[in-house]
Structure 1
Amino acid sequence: MKKNLLISAIVAPTLLATFAFAQSADGVSSLRTNDVSEPAVVEDVFHQDESRFTRNYRQQPPLVPHSIDQYQIDLKANRCLSCHDWTVAGERKAPTLSMTHYQDRDGNQLDVVAGTRWFCNQCHVPQADAPALVDNTFEASN
């Protein structure tokens, strides 16, 4: 009985203090400039460029000229192939994958993309006109 009284003597004032503090939080200013129920408009840090970037060195993988944010690329699916596989690229008016993507490690030609080339975003990234994060003195080759 004494134990229950002790617990209620501690819990009740704590709950009251918490409630009072929550009620006094009206004066807290938010980092958002609009109400929480309104969508926040965020300026683009970078924008997707319509024209293709030039390559800076031989055998540089081409940059992707469109967003791939919602693309599924995992062991079971590769959305890039829905446009760029050789079987559909013509009708989709998309560039076809290089024939090297259809060769296995031993150089044998395959009808499907080789497992070593399945994860496109290992080499290909979306091109963006983004500010450099660090100073860069790279010069493109001739």
Structure 2
Amino acid sequence: MRRLLLSACAGATCLVAGALFAQEAPRLTGPEPFTKETPAPPMQRQVTDDVRRKRNYPDQPPLIPHAIEGYALDLNANKCLACHARKFTEQSQAPMISVTHYQDREGNTLGGVSPRRYSCLACHVPQTAAKPLVPNTFVDMDALVEREPRGR
């Protein structure tokens, strides 16, 4: 009997907590009802100042600091490589793509860009001036290191 009572209390607590958390979460799923058609929000302007942004963590793919609208990126063409491929960086002054993009899954060096790294927009994204949909509590790694007590 005691187990049944504890289980019922735990279940009720979970339901109440879930309802409270659900009320605080912003709605990100679209209109209510879902069958109602609404116009898409306007596209946010891309940041195109060509200024490199600081990375927030090791191995974070760099953001794209320039416009890419109209860039060809398919099986037959990759406009990104016209500037960022090793042989064009001196002329374009663009940063060269990482050497990891020239390696296969086993770490073997290839003569060209690895097929699994060919689709740049799978990892790299343009920066926009859009407001966040949810509050951001992210803390940069450097700030975390500075907070740690010295002498550990």
Alignment TM class, shorter chain as reference: 0.5 to 0.7
Unaligned runs of 5+ in 1: 1-42
Matched pairs, number: 100
TM-score by length of 1: 0.64
Q: Distance in 2 between matches of 1:71 and 1:123?
A: 16
- Aligned counterpart, 2:80: 80
- Percent of aligned pairs sharing the same letter: 46
- Aligned counterpart, 1:123: 123
- RMSD over aligned CA atoms reads 1.7
Give structure 1 regions of 4+ aligned residues with deviation exceeding 2 angstroms.
Answer: 43-47
Whose Rg is larger? 1
Q: Distance in 1 between matches of 2:139 and 2:44?
A: 25
Q: Distance in 2 between matches of 1:130 and 1:80?
A: 24
CA contact (8 A) 1:48 1:66 kept: yes
Q: How big is the shift at 1:129? A: 2.6
1:90 aligned partner, one-letter code: E
Q: What are the within-5 Å matches in structure 2 for residues 62-77 of structure 1? A: 62-77=62-77
CA contact (8 A) 2:46 2:126 kept: no
Q: What are the within-5 Å matches in structure 2 for residues 15-34 of structure 1? A: none
Unaligned runs of 5+ in 2: 1-41, 143-152
TM-score by length of 2: 0.60
Q: Distance in 2 between matches of 1:45 and 1:104?
A: 36
Q: What are the within-5 Å matches in structure 2 for residues 1-142 of structure 1? A: 45-50=44-49, 51-142=51-142
The one-character-per-residue Cα deviations of 1:72-111 (angstroms, maximum 9, x if unpaired) are 1111111100110001111111100110000111211112
Q: Distance in 2 between matches of 1:116 and 1:49?
A: 27
| RCO higher in structure (CA 8 A, sep ≥6) | 1
Say if 1:136 and 1:104 are closer, same or farther in 2 by CA, change over 3 A. same
Q: Distance in 1 between matches of 2:48 and 2:100?
A: 27
Q: Distance in 2 between matches of 1:118 and 1:112?
A: 10
SS in 2 for 1:87: helix
